[in-house]
Amino acid sequence: MSIVNVESVKTYLMDLQDRIIAGLEQLDGGTFRSDAWEKPPGATLGGGGRLRIIEDSTVFERAGVAFSHVRGSKLPPSATAARPELAGRGFEAMGVSLVLHPRNPYVPTVHMNVRCFVAHPAVQSGSIAQPSLGAGDEGNDGAGAQSKPIWWFGGGMDLTPYYGNDEDCRHFHATCKASLAPFGAETHPKYKQWCDEYFFLKHRNEPRGIGGIFFDDLMQPDFATCFALMQSVGDHFLPAYAPIVERRRDTAWGERERDFQAYRRGRYVEFNLVFDRGTLFGLQSGGRTESILMSMPPAVKWRYDWHPAAGSPEAVLYENYLKARDWV
Amino acid sequence: MSIVNVESVKTYLMDLQDRIIAGLEQLDGGTFRSDAWEKPPGATLGGGGRLRIIEDSTVFERAGVAFSHVRGSKLPPSATAARPELAGRGFEAMGVSLVLHPRNPYVPTVHMNVRCFVAHPAVQSGSIAQPSLGAGDEGNDGAGAQSKPIWWFGGGMDLTPYYGNDEDCRHFHATCKASLAPFGAETHPKYKQWCDEYFFLKHRNEPRGIGGIFFDDLMQPDFATCFALMQSVGDHFLPAYAPIVERRRDTAWGERERDFQAYRRGRYVEFNLVFDRGTLFGLQSGGRTESILMSMPPAVKWRYDWHPAAGSPEAVLYENYLKARDWV
């Protein structure tokens, strides 16, 4: 049995946010602004967070990296699809979430999230002053689990190019795979497939991008292993994405590429507002709207029933990249 | 007891679409394209429709007017909030829905919808070949309603200005009120309030616009009266909106106004994709995505935690117009 220490998760997450910001500022040359926020304890949601965001900069047109730690009196159904019996319980959630929208259409948009949830034993009506889990609590193991807090981890990262590139796709997926290598050979194929299934626009019959990895409800075999897996995913984000930015940031683009980027960003909006559980969880649980919707692209276009011309570079995205493929 | 005649509803709706298009083409000077579509009967949804749409024209940057008549094997929960016991039944739905996004930021965006639903007596698994209601069926009245089709009407219209104008607001609401005058003095206040409550972005604590009227689950006192009310709402759309376009279409605007319009259009996207039951019904029931998402604005911007400068014309929108008010 491993020791459950939620404070150490929080320490890791805040440090991860700092390291990612340092890496992104080096890529961009600009400085992210920092917005700390706090919600007073209330009937719905309390807690706080620190949003780091940059807009209209050199590499990034809009890029946000959010840390948050919230406590609520009622876990919304979107928080755990696998264990609906936990809905309605008091909960804590902490995580780092990022969405980066580069200006250059040849640099892909990327998303990464790592998170830890704790569902408290019973609904305490109107109360959110649940004690945090401290070091030494046994967590999910052993008898009497119904009367104890239940914790789980989730996360992943996925890439959304506008103009696909095999080298980038292989690199991104290889890095995702490396992040999961210490956790068993079956883990990467499982989380890769989960990502393909999760980031899928049912109403378009189209994946959001070229995938990556996604996991949720991770609570086996023990706290230490699950926490280590989450850390490995977080630590592999910069190595997965930064080399792609460096390779593509100087590719020349014109109005045609910008226009296609704006059109494709519409799919990103559709996915996040209609399907994404993280977004819906945030909006349903009374989260901070401006932090949640940092994922929205800066400039987006919709047009009716548009399709790329056959043989065009835009058509290649649909034909070669917007399908689930084995990249490594 | 009045005669239930769903065919006459269909005839009315198709004619309404034609009349609205004629009025809008006169306002715009351009020609709407026409896209008829049909889905073969399948497990989820069959039926068809006719979408009329114009993009990048003089007055309208993107404007769609859709007629559709669909049949499905399983009524999704979004279709009727008031009667959840009908969820899962076979159904028919027909309606006209429009969203008009003008180019000039001084001309408001507008939405109108009129619709008729029929829930069939029992779920026929995998079957969508339910017979349509024909003339003479008794509908909701009388004994044995559980074994009979149940029909209801819904609809409404609402206005979303970027730069508010009292004259326009009063005219729009007065026309909405006139459309409901024959149906009892209590009808307009009720549907006006319903609209204020429905077109509300909970995560922003902000109404979508200046409201109008909204109704759903209308089945009393009888089919003929409900149908007449729906017709009156549909018939009052052009008189409610066209004079506003005529008054504001020549107002000069610059980049500042366009930018604010693009920012505010983000709220329209958020409402339609997160909250709008019509949109969710369409996407959940396997409707035609390009027809449903004709409501998306042509060009949209998001930016972080933006607020208009105090005393600016943009601030006036928030202070004077984005609150529920009695306009008539």
ipTM rounded to 2 decimals: 0.91
Task: Flag if B269 and A274 touch (Cβ within 8 Å).
Answer: no
Average the pLDDT over A132-145 and give the result. Answer: 47
What secondary structure, in 3-state letters, does B88-124 show?
CCCEEEEEEEEEEEECCCCCCEEEEEEEEEEECCCCC
Res. B129: pLDDT tops 70: no
Q: What is the pLDDT of residue A45?
A: 73
Q: pLDDT tens digits, residue range A252-296? A: 999 999 999 999 999 999 999 999 988 988 887 778 999 999 999
B45: confidence class by pLDDT, cuts 50, 70, 90: confident
Q: Return the number of other C-beta atoms located less than 10 Å from residue A255's C-beta.
A: 7
Looking at chain B, list the stretches that DSSP marks H as alpha helix, in order from N- to C-terminal side. Answer: 6-28, 166-180, 187-198, 223-235, 237-248, 255-274, 277-284, 289-292, 313-316
CB pairs under 8 A between A and B: 75
Does the N-terminal peptide bond of residue B189 adopt cis geometry, omega within 30 degrees of 0?
no
B256 Cβ under 8 Å from any chain A Cβ: no
| CA terminus-to-terminus distance, chain B | 35
Could you give the CA distance from residue B13 to residue B15 in angstroms, rounded to a whole number? 5
Q: Return the number of other C-beta atoms located less than 10 Å from residue B125's C-beta.
A: 9
Which active-site residues of B does the annotation give? 111
The pTM of the full predicted model, rounded to 2 decimals, is: 0.92
The minimal CB distance from B53 to the residues A204, A262, A304 is found for: A304
Task: Flag if B304 and A204 touch (Cβ within 8 Å).
Answer: no
Task: Flag if B305 and A35 touch (Cβ within 8 Å).
Answer: yes
Task: Flag if B300 and A301 touch (Cβ within 8 Å).
Answer: yes
Average pLDDT, chain A: 90
Res. B124: pLDDT tops 60: no
Q: pLDDT tens digits, residue range A40-50? A: 766 567 889 99
Residues of B in contact with A273 (CB under 8 A): 269-270, 273-274
Chain mean position to CA A6: 20
Selected residues 186-205 of chain B with any CB under 8 Å from a CB in chain A = 202-204
Q: Look at A180-194, B35-49, B214-228, B310-324 and tell me which has the smallest mean pLDDT.
A: B35-49
Q: pLDDT tens digits, residue range B152-165? A: 999 999 999 999 99
Q: What is the pLDDT of residue B122?
A: 59
Res. B146: pLDDT tops 90: no
B32: confidence class by pLDDT, cuts 50, 70, 90: very high
Query: What is the least distance, in Å, from the CA of B186 to any CA of chain A?
Result: 33
The minimal CB distance from B289 to the residues A204, A273, A294 is found for: A204
Percent of chain B with pLDDT over 90: 74
Residues of B in contact with A55 (CB under 8 A): 303-304
Lookup: tokens for B105:
């930021």
Which active-site residues of A does the annotation give? 111
The greatest distance separating any two alpha carbons of chain B, rounded to the nearest whole angstrom, comes to 63
Residues of B in contact with A304 (CB under 8 A): 53, 55, 62, 64, 290, 294
Q: What is the pLDDT of residue A194?
A: 98
Could you give the CA distance from residue A321 to residue A158 in angstroms, rounded to a whole number? 13
Task: Flag if B269 and A269 touch (Cβ within 8 Å).
Answer: yes
The minimal CB distance from B55 to the residues A202, A262, A303 is found for: A303
Res. A224: pLDDT tops 50: yes
Q: What is the pLDDT of residue B131?
A: 40
Mutation target for A interface from B274, B300, B301, B307: give the one with most A CBs within 10 A: B300
Res. A126: pLDDT tops 50: no
Average the pLDDT over A150-174 and give the result. Answer: 97
A209: confidence class by pLDDT, cuts 50, 70, 90: very high
Average the pLDDT over A162-185 and give the result. Answer: 98
Query: What is the least distance, in Å, from the CA of A297 to any CA of chain B?
Result: 6
The minimal CB distance from B297 to the residues A283, A297, A302 is found for: A302
B137: confidence class by pLDDT, cuts 50, 70, 90: very low
- Choose between B74 and B296: higher pLDDT: B296
Residues of A in contact with B266 (CB under 8 A): 296
Q: What is the pLDDT of residue B193?
A: 98
Res. A89: pLDDT tops 90: no
Res. B121: pLDDT tops 50: yes
Task: Flag if B289 and A203 touch (Cβ within 8 Å).
Answer: yes
Residues of B in contact with A35 (CB under 8 A): 305
Percent of chain A with pLDDT over 90: 74
Q: What is the pLDDT of residue A40?
A: 74
Name the nearest CA neighbour of B102 among B64, B61, B66: B61
Q: pLDDT tens digits, residue range B226-266? A: 999 999 999 999 999 999 999 999 999 999 999 999 999 99
Residues of B in contact with A290 (CB under 8 A): 304-305
B266 Cβ under 8 Å from any chain A Cβ: yes
Task: Flag if A62 and B302 touch (Cβ within 8 Å).
Answer: yes
Q: Return the number of other C-beta atoms located less than 10 Å from residue B222's C-beta.
A: 16
B43: confidence class by pLDDT, cuts 50, 70, 90: low
Selected residues 63-122 of chain A with any CB under 8 Å from a CB in chain B = 64
A44 Cβ under 8 Å from any chain B Cβ: no
A270 Cβ under 8 Å from any chain B Cβ: yes
Q: Which of A68-77, A190-199, A270-279 has the highest mean pLDDT?
A: A190-199
Query: What is the least distance, in Å, from the CA of B50 to any CA of chain A?
Result: 14
A130: confidence class by pLDDT, cuts 50, 70, 90: very low
